Structure 1
Amino acid sequence: MADNTTKQRLSLIIRGAVQGVGFRPFIYRLATELDLVGWVNNSSVGVFIEVEGDKDQLDTFLRRVQTENPPRSQIQAIETQWLDLTGYKTFEIRHSVSGEKTAVVLPDLATCPDCLQDIFDPHNRRYRYPFTNCTNCGPRYTIIEALPYDRCHTTMKGFKLCPQCQAEYENPLDRRFHAQPNACPKCGPHLELWDQQGQILETHESALMATATAIREGKIVAIKGLGGFHLVVDARNTTAVQELRKRKQRPDKPFAVMYPSLNLLKEHCLVTPTEEALLNSAECPIVLLKVLSSNFRSPLTPLYKGGNIRKEGEISPAVAPNNPYLGVMLPYTPLHHLLLAELGFPIVATSGNISDEPICIDELEALQKLNQIADLFLIHNRPIFRPVDDSIVRMMGGREMVMRRARGYAPFPIMIKSSPTHSQPSILAVGGHLKNTIAIARPPQIFLSQHIGDLETPAAFEYFQQVIASLRGLYDFNPQLIARDAHPDYISSQFAQEQNLPLIKVQHHYAHVLSCMAEHGLEPPVLGVAWDGTGYGEDETIWGGEFIYVTEDHYQRVAHFRPWRLPGGEKAVKEPRRSALGLLEAINLPKTSIEKAFTPQELVLLQTILKKHLNSPLTSSVGRLFDGVASLLNIRHQASFEGQAAMELEFIIGETITDKYYDFLLSSSTPTVIDWSPIIKAILNDIFCNISLGQISVKFHNTLVKIILEIVKRFPAHQIVLTGGCFQNRYLTERAIEQLQQHHYRPYWHQSIPPNDGGIALGQVIATLSKRMYINDQEV
């Protein structure tokens, strides 16, 4: 090494996803290779490093830290400082230190290729061990209790490492160096198979093999995985799948499917290179894929009723009835890999919960709550600290769109611009009511929670509170402000109201627009197209067909769909026929087209409450407009899950291609009112003329895109944001993107943040930070 006259000391603080990814051993190897001395450790804010050596070598070290860092790490910021020498003799990895907690907790990661090789190698000591992991894979967020990320702060603290695992854990050159969940068959968690009374039937390898046998026999098994339980059945067995639907009281909503291999999956679904990369990624989400055309089923085709296992691993139509898409994933834990390798066929792997409740994470809780659903329980004794569902992703406009942000993605933060001159408050945002997520903001980081779900039950509300407490505890976070939806009756709003903190109310669709702006780092002016099912409007009606114009110092509702009344209010969400009736009543059209959807008594009652404006709130919702059109076309009058009618209206397009659209009217007022009455009249005429449902549906979708184009022409904003649950519709979104680009606008749509209400909490934070808290020029 050069003499002391050329030596310097470099101090670094590295922030980002740099814990639990092999960052310290990477630094150790790099420093020793460059003949540098000093130390590295974890802290509650990231990784601290001090290195001494020749200035040229230190410059090389700094450059290579940024270009050769471990693949699962993400560096957000590096703070450097040049200091006087202290005379270090060696390079060492020091114990972690505490302090302000801002370090990024890594999401749970799918099994890496090296660990996969270990579990299928008969000569490896982890052969067929279901809890194998290393610094490149395995549980993170689901097991961490506190920062910094050390074993004593995880649910693995109760498992004492055996000498061999301890040696790996302490060796900086081993890929299991400080892999906090590190374990083996001698010292780690193990499997047990229980019956419905909680009696142990089998343990260890025998439990796995008995589970495979039970699935082959058509039984329903609750399996404890990474972030909670799955309910599992043979996806080929229609009788078994329908029994699961019956027991779970889930008549139509698609089930997710886990395939043993990509090759088998490709026999059933179209898979693009980008989708293949998603399926094989460390996030390993559920990916929505188009079923091969030979397996496509029209929404109007009766469901197959047979009970036999289908040929060559073919998926039962009961898995995703009336749906040309299948939600699929590959195994992402050693347990799943071992089970699927034994079975060799796809399985349904749906969340282990009862309706409207969070996923079960504890075996005793699962035994109590899932006892009437599952025949058997495959459990293990590694505690899950927080429940995390599988994420759902689809390709939209050639890019990844996260529709449910959970395992593999949460709680990785969203980075925003932070003012260097103004201190910004700590904010808790509590999201909406459906597809709830919460967010905590410590600028420039916003930590968006995993998917919580609909706050419909006491158990769901309890889970909501647990997630808030969990994130607050993890980051020692004490909010100075709390942001909520403007709807006063949301459970999340009522919770916020009780917190004795300064409160910010954020209009629902404004939050939608801001969430997409934050994701893309957009600055005003922006025109946001915010279309969904329900959002509390400034005029106390139900909004959902909104154009929100955002400028530097305010926002304004500049256009919306003509309101109409929903008989029975919230009941219309589950009954598209009510939306259809409201549409017809609003423009005084005969009800003959939908009278068969009601009993005579129902029709008289609903028409009466519409005429008297009783429990018939006004709405401008495009989501409800989709429902109404689906009912008019006799596609879906009653829905068993949110968005079912709109999905089937999209699916009925099939391979239909046309550029035709229906006429509509735009008012000259401010805000512009979009009159849909010509659309409904033309649809009814097309029905009378026996125009195909596919043609009608595609014309309806084209009309919505035409409306977007006509409205954006009225405003000097070339940045157009597409947000809200309606933009989960692939045809609508991709045609809107295409048409906007053709007319020289710059469309933005969601990718890493859900377009549905899973992104509302992020928008609430941005609204609070931006101080653009205005409604139609009136400050709130």
Structure 2
Amino acid sequence: MARAGTRQARPDSAARLRLRVRGAVQGVGFRPFAQRIAARYGLTGFVQNDANGVLLEIEGAQCGAFLAALEAEAPPLANIESVDVEQIDARGDCAFSILQSAGGKTKTRIVADAATCPDCLEELFDASSRFHLYPFLTCTHCGPRFTIASSLPYDRARTSMANFPLCPRCEADYHDPHSRRFHAEAIACPACGPRLDADVSTIVEALRQGAVVALKGIGGYHLMCDARNEGAVASLRQRKARDAKPFAVMAANLASIDRIAAPTPAERALLAHRATPIVLMRSTDALAPSVAPGLGRIGVMLPYAPLHHLLFHAAAGYPSSNDWRGAAQGFVLVATSANRGGEPLVVDDHDARRRLSGIADLIVGHDRAIVARVDDSVMRIVDGAPAFLRRARGFVPDPVDLKTEGPCVVAVGGHLKSTVTVARGREAFISPHIGDLDDAESIRFFEESLRRLLSLLDVEPDVAACDLHPDFFSTRFAEETNLPLQRVQHHAAHVGAIAAEHGVDGPLLGVALDGYGMGDDGGAWGGELILLDGARWTRLGHLAPLPLPGGDRAAREPWRMGVAALAATGRLHRARNLFPDAPLAGQLAERLRRDAEPTTTSMGRLFDAAAALAGVCREQRYEGQAAMELEALVRTPRHMAESFQLSGGVLDFSPLLAFLADERPGPREAAEYFHGALIEGCAAWIEQEARARGLARIALGGGCMMNMILAEGLSDALRARGLSPMLARAAPCNDGGLSLGQAAIARAAFETGGVRKENAACV
């Protein structure tokens, strides 16, 4: 338990020990746990929350047994990182006490929110319990933490529960060392706690009638409707201005999920994690077609708040027996973030009425304030282990261990899928998913998230880090921080994030495959082979450039990249015939014959070109649609001879594009040949450079690594070549992980004196 260098005392037969416990140890029932084991072993002393974590003093003959129990029996939500032990003079206390929390400069942290625990669920449906059918029951083992805390140490007075004075029975539980709610800061019951605006029966009846319901939850509002009712789902799409992007769904239990999806054992285990993320799994097409149009996978989650369980209980007819909790249920709900396209999640009741009245038929709030808005986390199993697509509820603010101490860095990420990261000591704290910084509401959320992280961690940054792109809001924000500034190239940051979480501080070969990032030369990069060594990065190779006709429009209209592929393969004369539904295809082909266009090395745009040539997707209604629909078609990647060329570090898939244009295989066959070629080509490309430089560890990053076929196929191919692939696990491989990589590289640069105040405009 204790780190190297920790001073460990050998307890005497009647010693007094001072214990400093660090980690996620506040708000998890640690103090009552300590009191219980002290009572078990007849020890006196005290336990206290403070700015550094938990401080204990124990005195008696069985201090050694206490230390062993501290490690072996810690509360479910606790994460003990270290215990410093010091022997001090005995005081002869008469009892073991829980002392009032002490303030000071914060060096501890709060834990993430956790799904309702089994004990609370038993009480929720026990007619004899005072918590029977109460939507806000919680204990020290579950419930909201991060989303209700305004500051540390974690005490009720510093949460949004401060407005709810405890009734006598809750007060008694709070002070009873034998109660599961002993010092449970969010404790409440129907007599003293928060209240829901509507009856659960009213909500369920509205959902059954095809209504869209906005329901306030743990980290914000959900928009919900019946996932089997095509009319309801289509209506939600139209009102939310979300044409085709897939919706997540919530089912009552694992048996119910088996009716709508085919989860693997690993996916089932991830569903049941205490964070209850949305998990992507294969669909059985049992839901309304508009839930996830054109895709073979759906995002599924289990209920994680008492209110969610009450909805499914009501839908089952209010059974008195608990048998229903394990039985399959046909009631399945779309549960998507309550916002209009691109805006942040709604958390405030007044804001909900203002922003959601045109979307929801029924808006149901409650009077427990949400201090921090946090969306649902989204994950999938990739190469045998969980990986994030979106890191948020249930995992934030758990830190990433950077393995070494370093300066305090604030890293502001990019423009899309924004997050911010604050590095403190040896830990990096990534904010919840913020989203795209396209509007004033999102920018306010970005600023709010950063302020909150800095406040909770009680730090003053030494350095700021940002992307190279001068027009990103995040870049401009970093320039105005009055801090030394480290600009980090987009794809180096992708590789840096993986290096940081895996503890690699020496030379590392990485590939970053994604849609767009500004290169050192100002160009549109996106398929890059990078050597990273601390704060230094070198571009070793890239995908062969393709024209980028229309700039950003090419990302929204894949047919343009289809024409660009024809230009790269000498087939522009076929543009009108191959894209008859794109009236401008012929004109664009003529322009490409005449004029030089900007180019891109983007893997994302290569996906778009292949999807257009295969007739899979020629206009995108959400980011990544073409790539996702192409992936959904693949059963087994196919391999073909001479699908790529490799010369001077440039990987050219022109032969593959020519095959798709000339042979016109069907959509599934085209998707399978495309994925097979990408895997073989990228593996050969990476191996060539790895052998030349004597490197075996390979970081695989960038948004295209969200594609499970590519990520798993490439990992297998590299292992077959004797190399060791590393995927993003602690943060998303997409731009949601950029801030982590920026922070890691900026720390390395700062420690070597490479960060400076660049000019007066940055001060």
TM-score class normalised by the smaller sequence? over 0.9
Q: Which amino acid counterpart does residue 71 of structure 1 have in structure 2?
A: P
Q: Please tell me whether the aligned partners of residues 297 and 632 of structure 2 are also in contact (alpha carbons under 8 angstroms).
A: no
SS at match of 1:714: helix
Which of these residues, 696, 719, 727, is aligned with residue 749 of structure 1? 727
- Which of 594, 603, 620 in structure 2 is aligned with 1:622? 603
Mapped partners of 1:690, 1:463: distance in 2: 41
- CA 1:594–1:266 in 2, change beyond 3 Å: closer, same or farther? farther
Residue 663 of structure 1 corresponds to 643
Structure 2 counterparts to residues 193-232 of structure 1, below 5 A: 193=198, 207-232=199-224
- Go from structure 1 to structure 2 and tell me whether the alpha carbon gap of 1:171 and 1:690 turns closer, same or farther (over 3 Å shift): closer
> What is the CA-CA distance between 1:610 and the residue it aligns to?
4.2
Cα distance between partner residues in 2 of 1:691 and 1:113: 44
Number of the residue aligned with 1:239: 231
Output the CA distance in 1 between the equivalents of 2:513 and 2:170: 53
Give the Cα separation in 2 of the matches to 1:73 and 1:691: 47
Deviations for 1:210-267, whole angstroms, at most 9, x for unmatched residues?
Answer: 1110100001110001100101000000011001111111111110000012101112
Are residues 1:359 and 2:345 paired?
yes
CA distance in 2, matches of 1:687, 1:63: 67
1:30 aligns with 2:22: no
2:187 corresponds to which of 167, 182, 191: 182
Question: C-alpha separation between the residues in 1 aligned to 2:488 and 2:442?
Answer: 23
The 1-side partners of 2:543 and 2:520 are apart by 15
Secondary structure at 1:258 match in 2: strand
1:686: Cα distance to partner? 2.7
- Call closer, same or farther: CA 1:479–1:612 in 2, change over 3 Å: farther
- Alignment-mate amino acid for residue 391 of structure 1: S
- Segments of 5+ residues of structure 1 without an aligned counterpart are 194-206, 296-313
> In the alignment, residue 643 of structure 2 is paired with which amino acid?
D
- What secondary structure is seen at the aligned counterpart in 2 of 1:152? helix
- Structure 2 unaligned blocks of 5 or more: 1-10, 316-328, 759-763
Q: 2:630 corresponds to which letter in structure 1?
A: L
Distance 1:704 1:460 in 2: 39
In 2: Cα distance, 1:146 partner to 1:72 partner? 19
SS of the equivalent of 2:269 reads helix
Cα offset, 1:688, TM superposition: 6.9
Find the partner of 1:439 among 408, 412, 421: 421
CA distance in 2, matches of 1:562, 1:607: 20
Answer yes or no: is the 8 Å Cα contact 1:581–1:594 preserved in 2.
Answer: no
Residues 716 and 84 of structure 1: CA distance in aligned 2, closer, same or farther (over 3 Å): same
Aligned residue number for residue 632 of structure 1? 613
| Residue type at the aligned position of 2:382 | M
The alpha-carbon deviation at position 553 of structure 1 amounts to 6.8
Alpha-carbon deviation of 1:609?
5.4
Q: Counterparts of 1:598 and 1:496 in 2: how far apart (Å)?
A: 46
- Could you tell me whether the CA contact under 8 Å between 1:220 and 1:240 is conserved in 2? yes
2:693 to 699, 715, 720: 715
Q: State the 1:154 CA deviation.
A: 0.3
**Matching of residues 589-628 of structure 1 within 5 Å:** 589-593=571-575, 597=579, 602-603=584-585, 605-607=587-589, 610=592, 616-628=597-609
Structure 2 residue aligned with 1:89: 94
Q: 1:137 aligns with which of 138, 142, 149?
A: 142
Q: Is contact 2:532-2:538 (8 Å) kept?
A: yes
Q: 1:47-71 CA distances to partner (integer Å, 9 max, x unpaired)?
A: 00111123xx222222221222112
Amino acid at match of 1:410: V
1:594·1:632 contact (CA, 8 Å) conserved in 2? Answer: no
Contact 2:107–2:458 under 8 Å retained in 1: no
Query: Larger deviation: 545-554 or 84-93?
Result: 545-554
Partner of 1:584: 566
Cα distance between partner residues in 2 of 1:624 and 1:186:
58
Find the aligned partners of 1:479 and 1:155 in 2 and give their Cα distance: 28
Describe the shift of the 1:662–1:110 C-alpha distance in structure 2 as closer, same or farther (beyond 3 A): farther
Distance 1:515 1:716 in 2: 22
1:77 alignment partner AA = S
Listed one character per residue, the Cα deviations across residues 640-676 of structure 1 (whole Å, up to 9, x for unaligned) are 11111011111121x34534354322223xxx11222
CA separation in 2, counterparts of 1:620 and 1:705? 14
Q: How does 1:80-479 map to 2 (within 5 A)?
A: 80-193=85-198, 207-292=199-284, 295=285, 314-343=286-315, 344=329, 345-419=331-405, 424-479=406-461
2:58 corresponds in structure 1 to 51
**Is the 8 Å Cα contact of residues 661 and 703 (structure 1) preserved in structure 2?**
no
C-alpha distance in structure 2 between counterparts of 1:52 and 1:695, whole Å: 67
> What is the match of residue 84 of structure 2?
79
Contact 1:486 1:505 in 2 (8 A): yes
Shift of 1:740: 1.2
Q: Is the 1:686–1:696 Cα contact (8 Å) retained in structure 2?
A: no
Check the 8 A contact 1:531/1:621 in 2, yes or no.
yes
Asked if the contact 2:213/2:224 (under 8 Å) is kept, the reply is: yes
The answer to whether the 8 A contact 2:109-2:456 is kept is no
Equivalenced residues, count: 730
Deviation at 1:717, TM superposition (A): 0.8
How far apart in 2 are the matches of 1:342 and 1:697?
A: 48
Corresponding position: 1:692 with 2:684: no
TM-score (normalised: structure 1): 0.90
CA contact (8 A) 1:455 1:461 kept: yes
Secondary structure of the structure 2 residue equivalent to 1:38: strand
What secondary structure does 1:436 align onto?
coil
Where 2:572 maps in the other structure, the secondary structure is coil
Tell me the secondary structure at the aligned position of residue 16 of structure 2: strand
1:12-65 CA distances to partner (integer Å, 9 max, x unpaired)?
A: 1111111111111111111121111110011122100111123xx222222221
| 8 Å CA contact retained: 2:462, 2:484 | yes
The CA distance in 1 between the partners of 2:747 and 2:151, in whole Å, is 27
- Per the alignment, residue 675 of structure 1 pairs with 652
SS in 1 for 2:574: coil
Question: 1:275-320 CA deviation, whole Å, 9 max, x = no partner?
Answer: 222111210000001123xx3xxxxxxxxxxxxxxxxxx3111111
Q: How much is the aligned-residue C-alpha RMSD, in angstroms?
A: 2.2
Deviations 1:115-169 (A, max 9, x none): 0111111111111000010000000111000100000000010001100001111
Deviation at 1:595, TM superposition (A): 5.1
What's the CA shift for 1:712?
3.5
Partner letter of residue 463 of structure 1? F
Q: Which amino acid aligns with 1:464?
A: F
Is it true that 1:535 corresponds to 2:512 in the alignment? no
Is the deviation greater in 581-590 or in 603-612? 603-612
Which amino acid in structure 2 is aligned with residue 663 of structure 1? S
Shift of residue 591, structure 1, vs aligned partner: 4.7
Q: What whole-Å deviation, never above 9, does each CA across 1:558-604 have from its counterpart, x for those lacking one? A: 11111222111111121111222222223432252565646776235
- Using the TM superposition, give the Cα deviation of residue 522 of structure 1 relative to its aligned residue in structure 2, in angstroms: 2.1
Q: Is the 8 A contact 2:675 2:710 kept in 1?
A: no
Q: Secondary structure at the match of 2:162?
A: coil
Deviations, residues 427-474 of structure 1 (Å, cap 9, x unaligned): 111011111110111111211111001111111111101111111222
Residues 1:751 and 1:591: Cα distance change in structure 2 (over 3 Å): farther
CA apart distance, 1:690: 10
- Comparing 65-74 with 207-216, greater Cα deviation is found at 65-74
Amino acid at match of 2:303: P
Q: Distance in 2 between matches of 1:552 and 1:153?
A: 39
